[in-house]
């Protein structure tokens, strides 16, 4: 009679739960920092000229909520990989860098009332997101796929940011 080992041990479940909490906390911190800069300045944003392809303000909340959930899931996937996994450290470093740039954008665009500063942030942010996806692809393809909608939205947001800067 052979003894079957459980697919997941209690230690694995606890580790995964800690990584989930860490992922949610990190992404939520970026979200909160961005909101602190954004919400008091929505009145200023409403006064700006915007291009015809600017989405309605009601779309930003649901889109960003979805993207933050996907980012947290991607980070959780990366953290679950064994530390010795080739490329894991680089993927995590790039992930943290894109998350920091994400939070900083709101301060540069909204809090500073500067579409130019927002543009100075968002272009490198997009590059770092793409680098993060490439690094994740080597470590965990599901994590990489989860970040692809972020790259598409930030690509669109870059064009929108440039248009707002040009119009104002």
Segment 70-95, tens digit of pLDDT: 999 999 999 999 999 999 999 999 99
- Report H helices in the chain: 10-38, 42-46, 57-80, 88-106, 115-139, 141-167
Mean pLDDT of the chain: 95
Model confidence band, residue 69 (pLDDT cutoffs 50, 70, 90) = very high
First to last CA, the chain: 76
**10 pLDDT above the threshold of 90:** no
Mean pLDDT, residues 36-51:
94
- Tell me which DSSP letter residue 111 carries: I
> Does domain 15-167 sit in CATH 3.30.429.10?
no
Q: Is residue 5 over pLDDT 80?
A: no
Mention every residue, 6+ apart, whose C-beta is less than 8 A from residue 74. 95, 136, 140, 142, 143, 144, 146, 147
Question: Residue 159 pLDDT more than 90?
Answer: yes
Residue range 24-51: mean pLDDT, rounded: 95
């Amino acid at each position: 009679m052979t003894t079957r080992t459980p697919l997941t041990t209690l230690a694995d479940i606890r580790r995964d739960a800690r990584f989930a909490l860490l992922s949610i906390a990190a992404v939520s911190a970026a979200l909160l920092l961005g909101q602190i800069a954004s919400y008091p300045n929505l009145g200023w944003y409403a006064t700006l000229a915007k291009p015809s392809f600017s989405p309605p303000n009601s779309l930003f909340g649901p889109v960003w909520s979805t993207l933050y959930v996907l980012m947290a899931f991607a980070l959780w996937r990366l953290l679950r990989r064994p530390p010795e996994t080739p490329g894991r450290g680089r993927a995590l470093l790039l992930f943290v860098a894109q998350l920091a740039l994400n939070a900083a954008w709101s301060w540069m665009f909204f809090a500073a009332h500067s579409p130019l500063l927002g543009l100075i942030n968002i272009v490198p942010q997009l590059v770092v997101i793409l680098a993060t996806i490439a690094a994740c692809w080597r470590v965990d393809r599901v994590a990489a796929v989860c970040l692809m909608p972020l790259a598409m939205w930030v690509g669109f947001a870059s064009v929108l940011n440039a248009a707002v800067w040009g119009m104002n």
